[in-house]
Amino acid sequence: MVRVPDSELEYDENLTYRWHGELFTGIGYDDTSPSGLSEVSYRYGAQEGPARDWFPSGALKGESWFREGVQHGTAREYDEDGEVSSEAAYEYGILLSRSERGEDGQLRQVYQLADDSPNRRLVERFRRERGWPDNG
């Protein structure tokens, strides 16, 4: 799989990514930031698969999953010791739930998409129409 610096990728208002004028499939990365390395996976110009960030120490800082350019699956953030500091679940770009680590070290749910939410109905429609599998 081709890996190119993010600075070589072009994108438009629809966040469609191109490299040398062609829809990009591969991994875009940034290793120049003082906050650490980042990588994003693309397929046919859209984010597809994992996006990851690392601390300067090399420890994983965060990971989220994308499908056709929207978050889909589990997103996790970590502290430098590798402990999960937050976790969120997305489907079709819609946040379903989010948990954060409290002072006692336990993950606690801080958000849950309500059953009567218009976004809940949208998720259910997308599940019927698209049927994407869960990631992460």
pLDDT tens readout for residues 78-92: 999 999 999 999 999
User: 12, exposed or middle or buried, with CB in 10 Å at 0-12, 13-18, 19+?
Assistant: exposed
The per-residue pLDDT for 92 is 95
CB proximity list for 124: less than 8 A, separation 6 or greater = none
Tell me the residue range of the domain where 95 lies. 3-129
**Within a domain: residue 135?**
no
The per-residue pLDDT for 107 is 92
Token pair 């690392």: residue: 54
What percent of the chain has pLDDT above 70? 99
**Within a domain: residue 134?**
no
Total of domains in the chain: 1
**Within a domain: residue 22?**
yes
Predicted confidence (pLDDT) per residue in 33-59, tens digit: 888 999 999 999 999 999 999 999 999
**Within a domain: residue 42?**
yes
**Within a domain: residue 136?**
no
Mean pLDDT score of the chain? 95
In whole angstroms, give the CA distance from residue 107 to residue 100.
5
**Within a domain: residue 49?**
yes
pLDDT bucket at 136, cuts 50 / 70 / 90: low
Beta bridge partners of 43: 46
- pLDDT at position 11 over 60: yes
pTM above 0.85, yes or no: yes
Predicted confidence (pLDDT) per residue in 77-127, tens digit: 999 999 999 999 999 999 999 999 998 989 999 999 999 999 999 999 999
Q: What is the DSSP code (8-state) at residue 136?
A: -
**Within a domain: residue 39?**
yes
The per-residue pLDDT for 27 is 98
What are the backbone angles phi and psi of residue 7, rounded to the nearest 5°? -65, -20
Please indicate whether residue 128 or residue 33 has the higher confidence score (pLDDT): 128
- pLDDT at position 29 over 70: yes
Contacts for 2-5: CB closer than 8 Å, 24+ residues apart: 2/26, 2/27, 3/27, 3/28, 3/29, 3/39, 4/28, 4/29, 5/29, 5/30, 5/31, 5/32
- Asked if 50 and 61 count as a contact pair (C-beta separation under 8 A), the reply is no
Q: What is the DSSP code (8-state) at residue 36?
A: -
**Within a domain: residue 77?**
yes
In whole angstroms, give the CA distance from residue 75 to residue 36.
18
